Structure 1
Amino acid sequence: MDIKSKNKFLYIIIFIIAIYSLSLSCLISYDLIKNRNYIVAKDPYFNSFEFDEEITSFSQNLCNLYIYYKDYNEKVGESKVTKEDLDGLRVYYEDQLKTSETEIQNKYNEYILNAEKSGDKNRVTALTNEKNEKLDSLRKENLKTEDQLKKEVALRYTKDYEDIKKVMETRKDIKYYINDTKNKKIYTNLPKGTNINEYLKSKSLYNISLPLNNLSNNIRFKQSHWIFSSSSWKGYIIIPKNLNSDSYILKNYHYYNSVRDRLLKECIIGSLSLILGISMLILLKNRKITSITILDKIKKVYFNLPLDLKIFIFVIYTVLMSTYLINISFFYKPLGIAHFTKLSFVSIYILYLIFNIKYAIKLKQNKDILSAEYKNSLIIKLLNKFKKSNLNKNIKFKIIFFIAFSALLGMFILLVLVLGIRNIFIAAVITIGYVFLIIRYLFKKADYLNEILKATEEIASGNLDYVIEEKGEETLSKIASNINSMKQGYKKSLEQQIKSERLKTELITNVSHDLKTPLTSIINYVNLLRDNDLTKEDTNAYIEILSRKSDRLKILIDDLFEASKMSSGSVDLNIEKVDVNSLLQQSIGELEEKIKEASLILRFKYNNKKIYANLDGKRTWRVFENLINNIIKYSQPNTRVYIDLIEKDNNIVVTMKNISNYEMNFNSDELFERFKRGDKSRNTDGSGLGLAIAKSIVELQGGTLNIQIDGDLFKVIVKFKKVMK
């Protein structure tokens, strides 16, 4: 037993060493990937972006010194000032002036406002004067003349020239030899009489021939190439061998070379570590002793997770570890506990990776296990529940879109993270932006849902005027629209019910009043006739009154039955082709005497031709009679009444206008209600059913009757469909 225990302990040690060896090779691999630029060339510094930037800056200074500031000491500085320079500086001072003016005005306006509120007029005046003085002083400082601007620009040019000249004179670690092919001049900082070819062979550590012969195949020194090419220059930029030990270029050169040497050593160590780790794992597998109790328990828990969750964990862990490996600093001295901690952290991932590789192989070899894992995955279960749900199609589509978009965005962010630490900021911005938009969207929908809930509470409490705003065409908006429609329908139904109850009450009151008035008179005069002492003249007068009141009562009862029949639709119409023009003229002719007695002036406008419509002539005549009688009863005496008959499109339009003799402070629709009169005192003759009957007759014949009220102007518009002759 002791031998077996010792062997098992030994195998565990070998297993740990194997994992750590693979972790070390993994760290080395990532270090090589990060620093691959150091080993791709013999002289890594001269092939680096940093050196390219150094040469570009040097080339730009050469261009400024020998072209832009050529013979600068022999010229007046102001002669180099251009209109663009002056305009740019002028705009700068104007912007500065505006900003300062705004600050002063805001500051003093607040003080002045406080002084005005306190009623201190002297302080208001003092602050206003102080503000104006500061603004004037500021304008004098910033509004400079053209000569002042020229001098300022010239001073800037001079300072720039002096700075460039100083840099080029003190720069000893870069040499140059330039042939100006346009001006036939040589620019160089090499000793006089130096043979450039011999210098390049014997004293040059590195040199660049500019402009480049083949720009398309060279990704370095492009900016320097364009500077030389546009200046018509040919020559060399040279790094000499005899650099000072404190030279920035020499330090970088040695540093890059030391990193390259270290990376080459890492290649050897990494290869050996990889071989050692794989060999040990193969050895343990062949002996079938890779089973470790604690690891078996962890694997059992992990592999009981759903397949898609395992994949998700693997992807996230891998991305995080890749980011960690890209950014980790491991190869430095002296060695310490931090190195062991980092190596252990990577070793855990290597162990996890081995588990997943073995698990993937197992799934590939056994299709039944793969099928079972697939069916038990979270996504498949979710999709099955999703298919069986009764969700609205629009909501289903949005859920699917949201899930798909989130998954794609997540993969994109993972890809960005894998590309390196520099992209973490981009990934963070995208993630924060996405989360912000999702939260904003959810809060927006939650607010809208709360608004709908609040509306339902308002409506349930009896506030039927509350309207839910319908936003867009989404599901919640449709719910809001349905609630609004239901509320509107209920409100109309309630209003109709209330109106119906009110009309019933008014109907009973008005019918009682209108029937009772003539009936009371009849009863009274019948009682008077019973007196035997009446003279024959009084008796005849009373009988005449009884006749009028009886006729009045008969008219009321007839109109009431007529209105009842019209509202129920149980009317037999004798439809035939009728000349509306003749019918209207006949109606006006029969009532002409009454119009004159009412002191009204009639203006009838019509075309002297036959205009036909399919109507019941007798009932249509009743409509015209009712409308004209209405005009006679309620028109202001000594005013004009206008009746027009015109053809418009396929309609016959009859318009009647008159000036009312009472104030019409009501809605025109109320006049169509039964027993409703414009004369609220009900002192005029009539049943109050005339307009309601007229409207019902017109509508039963397919026409329309509308009333318009404008101040005291009362206007009735009747339309019938015209038919051909």
Structure 2
Amino acid sequence: MKSIYSKLIFGFFITIVASFSVAGYVSLKLNDEQIESTVEEDLITTNDYVIKVISNGNIENKDDIIDLYAKSSEMAITCYSLKDGYVAYGNKKYNPSPEEMTLFFEKKDENFSKKLRDEILSYGTKNNINGVDYYIYVQKDTSGQKSAIANSAILILGCVFLTGSIVFLVIADIIVKPLTRLTNALKELSNGNYDVRVDNVGQDEISKLNQGFNQMARQLAKQDETRQKFISDISHEFQTPLTSIQGFANILKEEDLPKEQRVKYANIILYNSKRLSSLAKNMLQLTLLDREEIELEISTYSLIEQMNRVISTQENQAMEKNIEIEFQVPKKDIVIDGDEQRLEQVWTNIVSNAIKYTNDGGLITISMKKTSKEVEVSIEDTGIGMSKEVVSHIFERFYREDKARNVEGNGLGLAIVKSIVDLHNGKIDILSQVDVGTVFIVKLPIEKQKFMNRLKL
């Protein structure tokens, strides 16, 4: 019994048999008791009727009247007296013998009733009618009534079983078919077909299961697309510096190469090797940040001191392009709880990007403020800016705007920034306008407990 369809049918069959057995037994038992109660009342009524007929002196054909009554009511009536002897009426099959009636007559008990068999009920009374002792014994076979009710019950249960089976098979088919389609879709998905979908019309549990499957399939398709794009991007990022290194390495093998050119080509090789090293380092860091078990080294420190340190490390780069970095220092020190080393990397990456994409003579403005719930850091530049389309992709790995391709970088810096901010349970917003400038706004929660809760997820 491997399929859910067979299990449903087996479960339905067992349930129907068990419930019908109990219901049938209880119903027949109650009907039997009701029939016997009704027949007992009929027996008493018949006994009284016979007594009235015998006691009425004006009736001449008493035997015919009692016999007709016995046959019409399907009863066996037997009378015994010392005057008239043994007389039987109605169905002679169940009448007791003269010897039995003699024994009944001789008993001291006036009334007597018993069930001869499961189907036959009897009632006997000893009466003095017009000065003569009579023993009247009445019997009735209830097997016909009980059999009719039992047959009706079987017919009803059979109709219910047949109708229920048809309805159940239809319902089971409605339940099993979507599951079968879902199973086939899962097989397709496991074989790499991420475009497979299942119908999810309705709001029942199976529809919600199908919705979950479709969502999973879309997510897997997106991840597969991201993986392929990642492989393509990383191949391109590695191939460019490797090609440059190989080309200039072959040139350096020439013995008559002037010293100036040799130094120039060696510097190019050194630059590309550093680029590869930076790329590998950033990829490793992103891999570590993506791992759920990453642990932040939370400490309490001054955000103003950290930002001054970041600015001092970027001043030479800014001076080369005559860019001014203006830090609007708050009046009061801002102390936060966070991973100092990783957050310093966030500010360094954003400020470094601002310098790269700001033209000579530009301005970078850094400000920060503290509210009751969070710390907000704003880094604004007067650079080339970005379109809405670029902003929507800016945190994707290896994503770089076409007009920014000639700027040094590998497209991983902002992906690292986003991962670190997410790990601190913060958020980062970007406001940008082409040829006007860009503002990066980083918001970090103040409570240390929020970081700790994030680490436990």
Report the TM-score, using the length of structure 2 for normalisation: 0.51
Q: Which amino acid is 2:233 matched to?
A: N
Shift of 1:663: 4.9
How many aligned residue pairs are there? 296
Q: Is the CA contact 2:362–2:383 (under 8 Å) kept in the aligned structure 1?
A: no
The correspondence of residues 323-722 of structure 1 with structure 2, limited to 5 A, is 373=149, 468=201, 477-479=203-205, 482-483=206-207, 485-569=208-292, 571=294, 573-598=296-321, 600=323, 602-635=325-358, 640-658=363-381, 661=384, 663-664=386-387, 666=389, 668=391, 670-679=393-402, 682-700=405-423, 702-708=424-430, 711-712=433-434, 714-722=438-446
Give me the whole-angstrom Cα distance separating, in 2, the residues matched to 1:678 and 1:707.
18
Cα deviation per residue 1:292-328 (whole Å; 9 max; x = unaligned)? Answer: xxxxxxxxxxxxxxxxxxxxxxxxxxxxxxxxxxxxx
In the alignment, the residues of structure 2 paired with residue 380 and residue 628 of structure 1 have an alpha-carbon distance, to the nearest angstrom, of 85
* Partner SS for 2:384: coil
Taking the aligned partners of 1:373 and 1:606, their CA distance within structure 2 comes to: 98
Q: Shift in Å at residue 576 of structure 1?
A: 1.6
Cα distance in 2 for partners of 1:624, 1:375 equals 89
Tell me if the contact between 1:672 and 1:692 (Cα under 8 Å) persists in the aligned partners. yes
Residue-by-residue CA offset, 1:108-147 (whole Å, 9 max, x unaligned): xxxxxxxxxxxxxxxxxxxxxxxxxxxxxxxxxxxxxxxx
Distance 2:378 2:429 in 1: 10
Counterparts of 2:279 and 2:368, CA distance in 1: 31
Q: Indicate conservation of the 8 Å contact 2:429/2:440, yes or no.
A: yes
Cα offsets for 1:274-304 (capped at 9, x unmatched) = xxxxxxxxx999954996xxxxxxxxxxxxx
Show the counterpart of 2:119: none
Q: Show CA shifts across 1:332-371 (max 9, x none).
A: xxxxxxxxxxxxxxxxxxxxxxxxxxxxxxxxxx9x9699
Q: Closer, same or farther in 2 for the Cα pair 1:289/1:535, shift >3 Å?
A: closer
Assess if the C-alpha contact under 8 Å between 2:385 and 2:433 holds in 1: no
Give the direction of change, closer, same or farther, for the CA distance of 1:567–1:707 in structure 2 (3 Å limit).
Answer: same
Shift of residue 377, structure 1, vs aligned partner = 5.9
> Which runs of no fewer than 5 residues in structure 1 stay unpaired?
1-282, 292-365, 396-448, 471-476
Contact 1:604–1:643 (8 Å) recurs in 2 = yes
Conserved 8 A contact 2:196-2:217: no
- Change in Cα spacing, 1:703 to 1:375, as seen in structure 2 (3 Å) is farther
CA distance in 1, matches of 2:196, 2:209: 13
Deviations 1:609-646 (A, max 9, x none): 33333322122111111121222223466555443322
Q: Which has the higher strand share?
A: 2
Distance 2:250 2:420 in 1: 41
- Contact 1:695 / 1:704 at 8 angstroms: preserved in 2? no
Taking structure 1 as the reference length, what is the TM-score of the superposition? 0.34
Contact residue 637 and residue 661 of structure 1 kept, 8 A: no
Cα displacement string for residues 435-463 of structure 1 (whole angstroms, at most 9, x for unaligned residues): xxxxxxxxxxxxxx9xxx9xx99x98978
Q: Work out the CA distance in 1 between the residues paired with 2:295 and 2:354.
A: 28
Q: CA deviation at 1:657?
A: 3.8
User: Does the residue aligned with 2:347 lie in a helix, a strand or coil?
Assistant: helix
Aligned partners of 1:653 and 1:717 also within 8 Å: yes
Pairwise CA distance, 1:530: 3.0
Partner of 1:716, secondary structure, is: strand
Offset at residue 600 of structure 1 (A) = 4.5
Q: Deviations for 1:160-199, whole angstroms, at most 9, x for unmatched residues?
A: xxxxxxxxxxxxxxxxxxxxxxxxxxxxxxxxxxxxxxxx
Indicate the SS of the match to 2:204: helix
Q: CA deviation at 1:690?
A: 0.7
Matches of 2:292 and 2:388, distance apart in 1: 31
Q: 1:374 to 1:512 in 2, by over 3 A?
A: same
Contact 1:643–1:657 (CA<8 Å) still a contact in 2?
yes
C-alpha deviation, 1:467, in angstroms:
7.0
Unmatched segments (≥5 aa) in structure 2? 1-63, 73-141, 189-194, 449-457
Letter in 2 for 1:721: P
Q: What code does the residue aligned with 2:247 have?
A: N
Q: Partners of 1:289 and 1:372 in 2: how far apart?
A: 21
The structure where helix makes up a greater share of residues is: 1
Which whole-Å CA distance do the structure 2 matches of 1:590 and 1:665 have between them? 31
Q: Is the 8 A contact 1:664 1:678 kept in 2?
A: no
Label 1:463 to 1:538 Cα distance change in 2 as closer, same or farther (>3 A): closer
Aligned 1:227-376 pairs, distance under 5 A: 287-288=68-69, 373=149
In structure 2, the residue corresponding to 1:655 is in which secondary structure?
strand
Q: What is the rounded CA distance, in whole Å, between the counterparts of 2:287 and 2:322 in structure 1?
A: 34
Counterpart residue type for residue 478 of structure 1: D
Residues in 2 aligned to 1:540 and 1:496: alpha-carbon distance in whole angstroms? 50
Q: Deviations over 1:627-682 (max 9, x none)?
A: 21222223466555443322233222223344662653536453333222234763
Instruction: Label 1:668 to 1:490 Cα distance change in 2 as closer, same or farther (>3 A).
Output: farther
- In structure 2, the CA distance between the partners of 1:487 and 1:658, relative to structure 1 (3 Å rule), is farther
Once the 2 structures are TM-superposed, how far is the Cα of residue 685 of structure 1 from its aligned partner? 1.1
Q: Secondary structure at the match of 1:656?
A: strand
Deviation sequence 1:492-530 (CA, Å, 0-9, x none): 323332333323332232222222222332333333333
Question: How far did 1:596 drift?
Answer: 4.6
State the AA in 2 paired with 1:516. Q
Superimposed CA distance per residue, residues 365-416 of structure 1 (whole angstroms, 9 cap, x where no aligned partner): x9x969995996699959x98xx99x99xx9xxxxxxxxxxxxxxxxxxxxx
Q: Is the 1:559–1:687 contact (alpha carbons within 8 Å) kept by the matching residues of 2?
A: no
Q: How many percent identity over aligned positions?
A: 25
